[in-house]
Structure 1
């Protein structure tokens, strides 16, 4: 006698799992993909902070004073530092994707070089902006 057809759930249970966790090793470009998404979310939250500042500036002095106090606190400055880093890192990630869209930088050494330049460029630009901001202040 022939065996009965297995149920669809049993067939799904026998299907091989995606090999991404077993076969692929984590690379810098994979990590940069995640960082690009995280910085995008951070920019969204930072834009809400910017909107709060603009709305407070448009309403009254007390509201603006509250926002200024929050932003000038240690935590506020750390948030602004993170926002600055996210802005530059996300921007350089976009430049990296633009280079890839042009058909360049897809081979191994160039891919890694672009990923490193995104990381170090974001840190360097953040440092430059904060040094200039404190020098002008």
Structure 2
């Protein structure tokens, strides 16, 4: 694509950079092939929304404490229900995702782990690790009798 073609582009998908190179305006799935590092990045962003939901759940817990023993008992009953346990599992996954993805980012910020092989390995840990850790955590809760259906 020539510089004139980029200026004539009606879709707005291409831009001429100051060095004269023509590049897509923003990398997109149509431009880049799917890769595990993309999955880690997208999942990390998705956990932000889920953590916001978790914050609402924490606010509800504080409100139940403020409204007295009956409201708190109702909240505990909901938390022990299958839906409450599913929400708890999801929030556990979010926590482990934040920890592993945050650790990946901290490691990368030192300038390490930036080769393709190490970036792929760290991304696999950040994508699959939260699932494994959440299952192990909840299996331990059920095995210890702290949680039951």
> What TM-score range do you get, normalising by the shorter chain?
0.7 to 0.9
Residues 1:123 and 1:14: Cα distance change in structure 2 (over 3 Å)? closer
For this pair of structures, how many residues does the alignment match?
128
Structure 2 match to 1:13: 10
**Pairwise CA distance, 1:14:** 6.9
CA distance in 2, matches of 1:15, 1:46: 38
Unaligned segments of structure 2, at least 5 residues:
1-6, 15-23
Coordinate RMSD, CA, aligned: 2.1
Q: Which runs of 5+ in 1 are unaligned?
A: 1-9
**Could you tell me which of 100, 112, 126 is aligned with 1:92?**
100
Structure-to-structure mapping, 1:69-84, within 5 angstroms: 69-84=77-92
Give the Cα separation in 1 of the matches to 2:29 and 2:81: 42
Q: Highest Rg: 1 or 2?
A: 1
Aligned equivalent of 1:55 = 63
C-alpha separation in 1, matches of 2:29 and 2:125 = 27
Tell me by how many angstroms 1:103 deviates.
0.4
TM-score by length of 2: 0.76
Higher helix share: 1
4+ residue stretches of structure 1 with deviation over 2 A?
14-23
